[in-house]
């Protein structure tokens, strides 16, 4: 028996930073950062905590090319010198809460400047975790000169509680341009263990079914004049099936775990807790 392919996935949102876009960016880097931030930095982005030894470059070619070739393209690199690298412990708090608390924590790093294929100078900067996060996102060195601390972007926790409002434009586009019997919109973030696990669990169960599916991605609409974190996306899973409840049942089987001590046989699953179902 041939193994079925995963549902087709494509993005509907434009890369907000055209300069950072490469053919491999979607697979190996976070799309919407001005700097090339590899997926290996999922924890620092999810927790807003960069640590001693973390090294980042302004271009993806620094990671993909031999050093002699990479030097032709590197303009700046960042090497974090403080805080010291800590042993990762199992978190008792959710990722968003840790992200928010780390935003104002102190951080130090060296900026290395390159010119004509060689190192030119080094500048030491003392700032905060949130300021470095914002810089990697926006790419403007002037941010380190501002007295006002950058505001935190909206997190997955906020998106979950305002999902319908942040997804309305996406929903309208899907209804106008796509054919489906069911569609399900869920918050997705490659850097978040919780959100990526939920999404991948649904995809695995779709893969094992006989339904054809397509996955579309878009950015959530800004709310209250603030942007969502650049790692956050809206994922919409669309299916065409004669079984009009296949997607509902797939989401339920993927995410619902009945309590062992429940006093009733009636399932307490509420799909609205996880996302938006469109029929």
Domain ranges of the chain: 29-151, 157-278
Here the tokens at position 211 are: 């339904």
Second CATH level (architecture) for the domain 157-278: 2-Layer Sandwich (3.30)
The β-bridge partners of 119 are 114
Distances (CA, A) of 6 to 14, 200, 212, 232, 243: 23, 10, 9, 21, 19
pLDDT at 27: 73
pLDDT at 31: 87
Query: In whole numbers, what is the pLDDT of the chain averaged over residues?
Result: 86
**Cβ(154)–Cβ(221) under 8 Å?**
no
Task: Give the pLDDT band of residue 91 (cuts 50, 70, 90).
Answer: low
Q: Whole-angstrom Cα distance, residue 185 to residue 48?
A: 26
Provide CB contacts within 8 A for 207, sequence distance 6+.
4, 5, 6, 7
- Measured over the CA atoms of residue 60, residue 61, residue 65 and residue 67, the dihedral's sign is negative
Q: Whole-angstrom Cα distance, residue 71 to residue 238?
A: 44
DSSP symbol at 174 = H
The β-bridge partners of 86 are none
Task: Give the pLDDT mean for 10-33.
Answer: 53
Q: Which residue has the higher pLDDT, 115 or 26?
A: 115
pTM of the model: 0.86
Residue 122 has pLDDT above 70, yes or no: yes
Label residue 86 exposed, middle or buried (CB < 10 Å: 0-12, 13-18, 19+).
exposed
């Amino acid at each position: 028996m041939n193994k079925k392919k995963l549902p087709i996935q494509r993005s509907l949102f434009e890369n907000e930073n055209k300069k950072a876009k490469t053919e491999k960016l979607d697979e190996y880097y976070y799309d919407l950062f001005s700097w090339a931030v590899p997926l290996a930095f999922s924890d620092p982005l999810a927790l807003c905590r960069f640590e001693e030894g973390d090294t980042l470059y302004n271009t993806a070619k620094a990671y993909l090319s031999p050093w002699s070739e990479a030097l032709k393209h590197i303009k700046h690199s960042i090497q974090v010198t403080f805080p010291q690298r800590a042993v990762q412990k199992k978190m008792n708090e959710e990722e968003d809460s840790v992200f928010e608390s780390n935003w104002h924590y102190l951080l130090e790093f060296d900026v290395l400047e390159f010119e004509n294929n060689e190192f030119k100078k080094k500048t030491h900067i003392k700032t905060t975790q949130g300021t470095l996060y914002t810089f990697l996102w926006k790419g403007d060195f002037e941010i380190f000169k501002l007295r006002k601390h950058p505001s935190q972007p909206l997190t997955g926790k906020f998106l979950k509680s305002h999902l319908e409002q942040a997804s309305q434009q996406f929903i309208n586009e899907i209804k106008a341009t796509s054919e489906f019997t069911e569609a399900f919109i869920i918050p997705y973030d490659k850097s978040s263990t919780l959100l990526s696990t939920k999404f991948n669990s649904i995809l695995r169960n779709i893969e094992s079914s006989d339904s054809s599916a397509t996955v579309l991605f878009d950015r959530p609409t800004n709310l209250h004049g603030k942007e969502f974190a650049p790692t956050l996306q809206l994922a919409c899973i669309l299916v065409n099936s004669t079984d009009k409840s296949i997607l509902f049942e797939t989401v339920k089987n993927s995410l619902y775990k009945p309590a062992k001590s429940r006093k009733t046989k009636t399932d307490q699953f509420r799909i609205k807790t996880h996302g938006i179902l469109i029929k």
